[in-house]
């Protein structure tokens, strides 16, 4: 019986090895046109029409692969971040108070290779405490950036050094993990990209990265962003609305009306309900239950940077969602491959024209620039493509073919 089991196991193992070898042989061979595109991208020339990888050939491209063993590189990548207040322009004519890393929203992109040591020296110049979480990365517990659990919050004027190994290739985020609903909403976040240790030949000609954010900006001149989720039912139950840091008039987004004649019913002398003197609050956009400005890399359309491509190029886009919104991102004129989610390659890449990026998620996608023109890539939650309810705006960029 034991011999039979051993014989069967050996047979299955040999079959699997043979299958893996065959699969590796197929996946490891890139189409010759891809090599041609790489050379042309370096020389600046444009591919000939017969050399273009069409969208139909997306499914023929090899999927991403993960590095089996990560070896330390003995390289230390050091970055300095200063969390500080500043004014930030979301779109022409709209500025707001923001929390920034090094004066920008998002903060600088942190990039390293698998096996590198990442060292980030954080100085807190904010008027309140802060801490940074490395979203999606497996780091030592004391480096996770959660005050009261893994570290003490970084007090104003203090400096804290985070250090960990870049142990898994992919697209990630870093963001505040202290008073997050305010600090993230005001811009305290950025992208973190880890390249594979054993990267083969260039698989794409261009790369772009986008991080989605949301903002509450009142339309009054000099208005301040508001956060916090006050309950609009509070006024009906004599509740106390959440406090605001600034005083000012609140513009109601709800219209109230009454019938010509009141309803009447026969009572039985029950409990008396005194009238409430607390009015209803403003609608969801003002209160923080939704945003009225949405940004890609800190900017709302039409101030978002276009994605410039050349005909025949293979383009990679990294998507990250640090906002509380759900964003079905739709590309006009092209299909694309979803090749990785949350830093993990998909065994079978999906070919679609829309990918839904939930809060906290990241995606890597590829597409072939095979349809010249100017095309939009936008969120299909249509409120997210407006600026203060006026379209076009928000989460939208142009894919622009250049010569």
Which residues 6+ apart lie within 8 Å of 249 measured at CB? Answer: 220
Sheet containing 76-91: order of strands: 94-101, 76-91, 117-124, 159-165
Rounded distance between C-alpha atoms, residue 393 and residue 378, angstroms: 10
Sheet containing 327-331: order of strands: 307-309, 396-401, 374-379, 327-331, 354-357
Neighbour tally for 269: CB within 10 Å: 5
Which residues 6+ apart lie within 8 Å of 386 measured at CB? Answer: 292, 392, 393, 394
138 labelled binding-site residue: yes
Alpha helices in 163-289 (DSSP H): 180-183, 284-287
133 labelled binding-site residue: yes
- The two beta strands, 293-296 and 327-331, are unpaired
383 labelled binding-site residue: no
CB 143 within 8 A of CB 162: yes
Rounded distance between C-alpha atoms, residue 43 and residue 77, angstroms: 30
Positions at the binding site for Cu cation: 133, 138, 175
Positions at the binding site: 133, 138, 175
């Amino acid at each position: 019986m034991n011999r039979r089991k051993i014989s069967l196991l050996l047979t299955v193992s040999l079959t699997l090895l043979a299958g893996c070898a065959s699969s590796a042989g197929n996946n490891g061979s890139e189409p010759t046109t891809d090599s041609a595109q790489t050379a042309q991208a370096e020389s600046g020339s444009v591919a000939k029409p017969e050399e273009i990888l069409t969208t139909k050939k997306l499914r023929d491209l090899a999927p991403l692969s993960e590095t089996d063993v990560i070896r330390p590189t003995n390289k230390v990548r050091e970055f300095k971040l200063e969390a500080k207040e500043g004014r930030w322009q979301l779109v022409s004519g709209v500025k707001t108070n923001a929390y920034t890393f090094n004066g920008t929203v998002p903060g600088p992109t942190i990039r390293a290779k698998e096996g590198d040591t990442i060292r980030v020296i954080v100085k807190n110049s904010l008027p309140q405490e802060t801490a940074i979480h490395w979203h999606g990365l497996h780091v030592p517990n004391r480096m996770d950036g959660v005050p009261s659990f893994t570290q003490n919050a970084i007090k104003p004027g203090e400096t804290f050094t985070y250090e960990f190994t870049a142990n898994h290739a992919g697209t990630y985020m870093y963001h505040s993990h202290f008073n997050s609903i305010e600090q993230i909403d005001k811009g305290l976040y950025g992208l973190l990209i880890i390249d594979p240790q054993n990267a083969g030949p260039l698989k794409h000609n261009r790369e772009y990265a986008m991080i989605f954010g949301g903002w509450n900006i009142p339309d009054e001149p000099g208005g301040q962003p508001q956060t916090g989720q006050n309950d609009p039912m509070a006024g009906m139950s004599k509740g106390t609305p959440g406090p605001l840091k600034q005083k000012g008039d609140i513009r109601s987004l709800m219209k109230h009306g009454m019938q010509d004649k009141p309803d009447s019913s026969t009572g039985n002398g029950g409990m008396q309900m005194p009238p409430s003197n607390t009015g209803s609050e403003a609608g969801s956009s003002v209160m923080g239950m939704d945003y009225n400005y949405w940004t890609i890399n800190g900017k709302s359309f039409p101030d978002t940077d276009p994605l410039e491509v050349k005909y025949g190029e293979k383009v990679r886009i990294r998507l990250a969602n640090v906002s509380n919104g759900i964003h079905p991102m739709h590309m006009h004129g092209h299909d694309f491959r979803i090749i990785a989610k949350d830093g993990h390659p998909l065994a079978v890449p999906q070919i679609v024209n829309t990918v839904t990026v939930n809060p906290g998620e990241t995606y890597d996608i590829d597409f072939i620039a095979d349809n010249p023109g100017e095309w939009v890539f936008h969120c299909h939650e249509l409120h997210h493509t407006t600026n203060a309810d006026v379209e076009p705006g928000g989460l939208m960029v142009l894919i622009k073919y250049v010569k």
